[in-house]
Homo-oligomer: A and B are copies of this chain.
Amino acid sequence: MSEKKPTTYWDYIRIEELTALQTGLAESEEELSNDEVLFITVHQVYELWFKLILRELRTARDLFRKEPVAEQELSGAARSLNRVTTLLRRCTDHFEVVETLTTRDYLAFRDKLFPASGFQSRQLRQIEIVMGLADEDRIPFGSEGGFVAALKEPDGTPSTSMQKVRATQAEGPSLREAIDEWLYRAPIDGVALDDQDSEAALDRFLSKFLEAYEAESEVSKKIALSHTKSPSETGRIDEMYTDERASVTAFFSPSDAKGGARRRRIRAAALFVETYRELPLLAWPREILDSLVELEQQFVVYRQRHARMAERVIGRRAGTGGTSGVAYLDKTALKYRIFRDLWAIRTLQIRREVAPDLDNPDYYGFLHPE
């Protein structure tokens, strides 16, 4: 080991190659304004963060594809997810760097970018694919063809970016799908999926939970009704609670088109983890679910902040990619949701004291509790 060539910072970081990449469409950087070099560089920094995000998401996904997922490894997955959230926070803050450009600074070089667009960032597409954004949930672009077609070279041939996106689509189950599978196989109240009475245990848990939920809902409703001042308000509130309960029941009886019994079990498992989150064996599963929600929240924050930057620097003119820019970004922020079941479960949690008792709480304990 002592014979190896000594390391220098410049070789390790590849500083000269790295800092030679900001020439844009020019022969030399000298031809570019500070504003354009900043514009190029910020996008490069985004792509570097995206690279790290992609790597961590794949690591987490691969881990949840294992069967079984070793309890020991969950803490590693939580770290990957939390690292992604930390990176997305930095990406969110970077818009302040872009905002040191005035609209006019940007206009000085805008036309030559056409028809390039940030929508052509292959890594952002890969991140969405690895996380599990469904193709049918995507909002169409201004341009013809879908988001993959937008990655063609101008002469119509497939770009490297396009090839890499296609390869990612072929990578198999996404993080969302792998998490679903992991939840599907999770024991409920100590009864494993392939135990004989696994179905019965699931039913027992769900029916006890729903009973407790309805009792809670009834209390809330009574309090709400006690403050009403008119029959119409009473009617409105009554209806609101009735609807809420109906939607909870429906959530746990998904149609076959929506995944049927498998989806039901997945949702029940996530609810189980949230409801008994204090049990030792559930400490890491609950960290995973919390981390996924936090990660997705930060992704939405990132997208909304992106829209705000675009509106401020560019205004509501059409983007260089030919789309309507700001409005499109705001729409994707609200619609591109991946872990929908986990979000839904937040809405139906109940107070700790009223959570139904478990039949097998010991199953979730330590060998040597203190």
Q: Which residue of B lies closest to A318 (CB)?
A: B240
A250 contacts partner chain B, Cβ-Cβ < 8 Å: no
Structural contact, A278 and B25, CB atoms closer than 8 A: no
A297-B311, A363-B368 are contacts. A10–B87 as well, Cβ < 8 Å? no
Chain B residues near A348 (CB-CB < 8 A): 315, 317
Instruction: Tell me whether A121 and B9 are in contact (CB under 8 A).
Output: yes
In the complex, the answer to whether B86 meets A224 with C-beta atoms within 8 Å is no
Contact A113 B75, beta carbon cutoff 8 Å: no
Q: In the complex, what residue of chain B is closest to A278 when comparing beta carbons?
A: B72
Which B residues are CB-close (under 8 A) to A89?
Answer: 96
Say whether A154 contacts B227, CB under 8 Å: yes
Q: Which residues of B contact A350 (CB under 8 A)?
A: 104, 107
Is A330's CB within 8 Å of the partner chain B? yes
Q: Which residue of B lies closest to A240 (CB)?
A: B318
Complex CA gap A86/B8 in Å reads 29
Interface-located stretch among A36-44, A167-175, A198-206, A256-264 = A36-44
- CA of A15 to CA of B18 in the docked complex: distance in angstroms? 11
Q: Is the CB of B6 within 8 A of A68?
A: no
Q: Is the CB of A280 within 8 A of B103?
A: no
- Tell whether A71 pairs with B301 under 8 Å between CB atoms, given A6-B115, A114-B7, A315-B343: no
Asked whether B297 lies within 8 Å of A47 as measured between CB atoms, the reply is no
Chain B residues with Cβ below 8 Å from A224 are 114-115, 322
> How far is B344's CA from A116's CA once the two chains are assembled, in angstroms?
24
* Interfacial residues of chain A within 2-53, with CB under 8 A of chain B in the complex: 2-19, 21-22, 24-25, 34, 37-38, 40-41, 43-45, 47-49, 51-52
Provide the bound-state CA to CA distance between A229 and B366, in Å.
55
User: Does A161 sit at the interface, judged by CB under 8 A?
Assistant: yes
Distance to closest chain B CB from A343 (angstroms): 7
Answer whether residue A69 sits at the interface, using C-beta atoms and an 8 A cutoff. Answer: yes
Question: What is the CA–CA distance of A97 and B308 in the complex, to the nearest angstrom?
Answer: 23
B2 touches A222 (CB 8 A): yes
How near does chain B come to A228, taking the closest CB pair, in angstroms?
9
Contact of A8 among B97, B120, B223, B315 (CB under 8 A): B120
- What is the bound-complex CA distance between A68 and B369, given in angstroms? 10
Task: List chain B residues, Cβ under 8 A from A351.
Answer: 104, 107-108
**Is A305 located at the chain interface by the 8 A CB criterion?**
yes
Q: Answer yes or no: A111 CB below 8 A from chain B CBs.
A: yes
Which of A70, A159, A284, A364 has the largest count of B CB atoms less than 10 A from its CB? A159
- In the complex, A347 has a CB within 8 A of chain B: yes
Flag if A363 contacts B352 (CB, 8 Å): no
**Is the CB–CB distance between A116 and B8 below 8 Å?**
yes
* Contact of A308 with B300 at beta-carbon distance under 8 Å, contacts A116-B8, A330-B334, A351-B107 already known: yes
Complex contact B111–A219 (CB within 8 A):
yes
Contacts of A283 in B (CB 8 A): 75, 283-284
9 chain-A/chain-B pairs, Cβ below 8 angstroms: A6-B116, A34-B56, A90-B93, A142-B236, A143-B233, A283-B284, A293-B312, A297-B312, A312-B346
Going nearest first, the 5 A-B pairs with the smallest beta carbon separation are: A315-B347, A315-B346, A9-B120, A2-B226, A6-B154
